[in-house]
Amino acid sequence: MSQTEIQTQQTLKSEVFHLREELQLRDQLVQQLSQELFRLVKGNTTFLPAPELSERNQSQMLALREQLQGVEQQVAFYQQQIADRDAEIYHLRQTVQELTDRSRMLEQVVQELPQIYRQKFAERLGPVKEKLAQLQRENRQLHAELQSVSYRLAAKSRSASGRLDLPSFQRLGADRPSLPSFGNA
């Protein structure tokens, strides 16, 4: 969850809390007013206002009813705002949960990647090792055949001449070996 989402969520929570406090306060005021009105009406059964007081009381009652309607409308408005904010908070919590789950899944995938790469590399390396071993066996076999053929060829050339193939020297004098000359150096 990003920092802005956290701040937005905290701001929403504080607004919801503030609206609920206002709603409670208005509910208390309405309750007090209704209790006071009930007490006045119930307590004074012999109370019959004079006509001029009656008109004044009716205008006050009308004003109180209008205030009560205004308060009820505000309460309904705030309740709707609270419901909207609750729905938004619920949606944000779901989003946070989904992102957390996705993040965990991605972390697990990232942690498993080295093992997967090692496994794939080992799978690809297996045939290469087998081919290398086969080529080494063929090389040893060919080397052995080459040595065998070389040995047989050498043996054959020795047996054909009956003697060793040594360099021959010309004899110039009876007992004197000839030395190479360097000309007029």
Q: Which domain holds residue 76?
A: 3-113
- Are 83 and 16 in contact by the 8 Å Cβ rule? The answer is no
Task: For residue 147, tell me if it sits in a domain.
Answer: no
From CA 58, how far away is CA 52, in angstroms rounded? 10
Task: For residue 25, tell me if it sits in a domain.
Answer: yes
Angle separating helix axes 3-43 and 51-161, nearest 10 degrees: 160
Please determine, for residue 22, whether its predicted confidence score (pLDDT) is greater than 80.
yes
Among 2-11, 12-21, 108-117, 123-132, whose mean pLDDT is lowest? Answer: 2-11
The total domain count for the chain is 1
Quick: pLDDT tens for 39-51: 777 766 555 555 5
Quick: pLDDT tens for 123-165: 999 999 999 999 999 999 999 999 999 999 988 888 776 555 5
pLDDT of amino acid 140: 96
Task: For residue 167, tell me if it sits in a domain.
Answer: no
> What is the chain's length?
185
- Are 23 and 75 in contact by the 8 Å Cβ rule? The answer is yes
Task: For residue 135, tell me if it sits in a domain.
Answer: no
Please determine, for residue 56, whether its predicted confidence score (pLDDT) is greater than 80.
no
Arithmetic mean of pLDDT over the chain? 83
Task: For residue 42, tell me if it sits in a domain.
Answer: yes
From CA 34, how far away is CA 32, in angstroms rounded? 5
Task: For residue 23, tell me if it sits in a domain.
Answer: yes
Task: For residue 155, tell me if it sits in a domain.
Answer: no
